[in-house]
Every structure is written in structure tokens, then in C-alpha cells.
Amino acid sequence: MARLWRLLLLSIAITCCLSQNDDSPDYYQPGKATDDCLCVPLYLCVDGEIVTDGRGVIDPRRRPDGDAEELPLDEKYVPPECGPFHVCCRNPESSTVSPYDHKCGNRNPGGINGRILTPNADGEAQFGEWPWQAAILKNAAGELIFKCGGTLIDDRHIITVAHCVDKFLDNKNSMIIRLGEWDTQNTDEFMPHEDYGAQEIFIHSQYRPSNLHNDIAVVRLNKTVNFKPHIDTACLPQDEDDFTGQECVATGWGTDAYQEGKYSLIMKEITLPVISNAECQALLRKTRLGPRFKLHNGFLCAGGKAGQDACKGDGGGPLVCFRSDNSYTVAGLVSWGIDCGGEGVPGVYTNVKEFIDFIISKTQRPIEDYWSS
């Protein structure tokens, strides 16, 4: 009789699980991440929720004597293959989601939920590691075309380079700002990306397309961003910040070489040393720019080692530097260079610190809102 009751209970439990609506967040959904549903022995699932305080288990609901196999208690099974006498049951510890604690410049070292990722190739960022990275896309008759990068600085604005977004001025509706992206060819990521439109595009009034002086723009998003672990802001520089000599990180989906390079599917990262403008100007004068080239003070430079550089497609993306307050500040925006990755040829970035007044004049927010402390 005991065996008959056990089989009846198992049948009811399986029927309940199979009858759940596919949209229920409490049960496993193939292709979607969930922490709510765990495989546990049948007797540890009461009223659809895992027993965590031992009630009913020690005596009335303990495993009946005579069973041939001890049921594991360590969730060794993985939904939906819950194994014999197991059921997919809601985890009460995941029922309450704590609000996300927003802070600018908060990197996720090693990424978010890194265990689900394939081992990263050389130079690839992990999912959610740099949460302020934006991808600027063009909607061309329903086809999304990657144009450049950007940096989220608050819940309504990104900054990028003017030479990327000036072409959208006559058709803002074709611009899509994607946040939370990582693998451009895969939508089945741990957390979904989010797409925003452009409400306003502010190009610096002194921007010069011929020499890329004042190569910066602020884009106001068409709706407010709700911050999440993989979507957050980079801090803006403070008055005392000087990044010369510091190892900073550039990110984006640009090509791996100037002429025959291929665009990256997964976000790349590269660590680059920031050099002084005087040293940068001297190095650039050795290129086809010539010995009389003068580097505009609206730029900063990083790199100069063979094969280590931002490249085509990285434009507008951030060069972030670590501060002593444990935050990352966007020091530069990828602007231009002489080819990509040549020995002794640094990359040139828009110096964000030089354009703080322009940025806050468009966002209409106090500069202190963009600092972590």
C-alpha cells in the first residue's frame, strides 16, 4: 500500500509540473535562465515550494523504509531532467529579488554568472564585465547595422564620438542604442540586452570633421534606463584626475586589423598605457602626419605597442581607468589613429575631462552625480 501511495504522489507531482504554464517564472524554461526552479526529492517540495526548515521531513514525510536508493539532497539533478522521485520546485530564497544597488564605475570582474560562458578567447571580455558599454546601431529597412560604440553615463544619456552620430542628425529614428550587449550573434544570454531610441543628439558646436577636433556627442535616450548588474554607468573624470602612465582598458566590437580585419562577435577588451600628449605628438610626427603635426588638447593617447590598439568599429567606445575609490572612469572615447596597432603608434582618444562642461550642459545634471564619491 505504501508503494501505491508513493507512485500516486509521484504521478500527481509530475502532472502538476507538466501542467504549469510555460510563462511561469517558477519553473524551468529551456533557453531562459532561472534560479527559482531546483530539482529536489519529492518529499522536500510542499505546496510548490522547497522545504528549508525541516518541517514535515523528519517523521511524516521522510523517505519510506525499504527504498533501495537514498535520494540525494544536494540538487545534483538539473532541470528539466529531475530524475526519479524528484520534482522541479520553487526555491523560496530566490522569490524575493533585492533591488539593484546602482553605483557608477562598478566593474564586474570575471563577468556575471561566468560559469555559463564558454572559456573566453584571448582579449574577450566576459558577459556583463563592462556594464556601461553601448552599441550604436542603424536600423536600415529592418536590418540592424553596427556603427560604433558609446558609454552610458546616466539613466538617460550616453556619450560617444561626433564622427559616428553626426550622420543620424537627419534621421534620429534610425538610431538604436543597445545596452547590455555582449555576443552580437547570440540572444540567449544570461540577461537580455535592451534597445533604446535617440530622443536628442547633441554634437559639440566646435566639432571639425576634417581633423576630428572636439569629437564628442551626447545622446539623450528616449526612455529611462533601469540599472541592472549588466547595465550601469561609468563615472566621469574629476578635476584632479591625471591618467598619464596608467594602464587603462578599451572595449568594443571593432576589427582586429586595419585593412583585412574582421569585426568581433563578442566584446573585446584591451589594456593600454596612457601616455602624455607631448610623447604622443612626438610619436605621431614620425608617421605620415609629418614633423609639424600638432596634437589638439582635446585628445589623449594610449597604446603604442604592436598589435595592441582599438580599431575600426571601436569608435566612440570607452577607454576606462581605475580610480583609488574603486571605480572606473571614462577617460577617453575611441576617436582616431594611424592604421591600427602599429609599433610606436598610439591610438588617439577624445579626452573626456576636457569636455565636462559640454556634457553637463546637455544632461542638465550636477557633475557630482557622475562621481562615485
Per-residue pLDDT of 130-161, as tens digits, reads 999 999 999 998 888 889 999 999 999 999 99
Apex CA 30: angle with CA 28 and CA 35, to 5°? 40
Asked if residues 46 and 89 have their Cβ atoms less than 8 Å apart, the reply is: no
- Return the closest-CA partner of residue 156 out of 187, 184, 185, 177: 177
Taking residues 318-341, what's their average pLDDT? 91
Does residue 258 have a pLDDT over 60?
A: no
Per-residue pLDDT of 71-120, as tens digits, reads 333 344 455 566 666 777 776 655 455 688 999 999 998 888 643 334 44
Cell matching residue 206? 566646435
Mean pLDDT across the chain: 79
Q: How many CB atoms lie within 10 A of CB 101?
A: 9
Amino acid symbol at 221: L
Q: What is the dihedral of CA 331, 336, 337, 338, to 10 degrees?
A: -170
According to the model, what pLDDT value does residue 236 have? Answer: 99
Per-residue pLDDT of 261-304, as tens digits, reads 445 678 889 999 999 999 999 999 999 999 999 999 999 999 87
Give the N- to C-terminal CA distance of the chain in Å, as an integer: 68
d(CA 278, CA 282): 6
d(CA 254, CA 317): 9
According to the model, what pLDDT value does residue 38 have? Answer: 73
Asked if residues 307 and 352 have their Cβ atoms less than 8 Å apart, the reply is: no
Scanning the structure block, which residue is given the C-alpha cell 598619464? 244
d(CA 130, CA 251): 8
Q: What is the dihedral of CA 61, 67, 73, 77, to 10 degrees?
A: -120
Taking residues 40-69, what's their average pLDDT? 57
Per-residue pLDDT of 160-193, as tens digits, reads 999 999 999 999 999 999 999 988 777 767 788 9
Proportion of the chain in helix, strand, coil states, percent, rounded to 5: 15, 30, 55
According to the model, what pLDDT value does residue 150 have? Answer: 97
Peptide bond into 237 cis (omega under 30): no
According to the model, what pLDDT value does residue 117 have? Answer: 36
Taking residues 319-331, what's their average pLDDT? 96
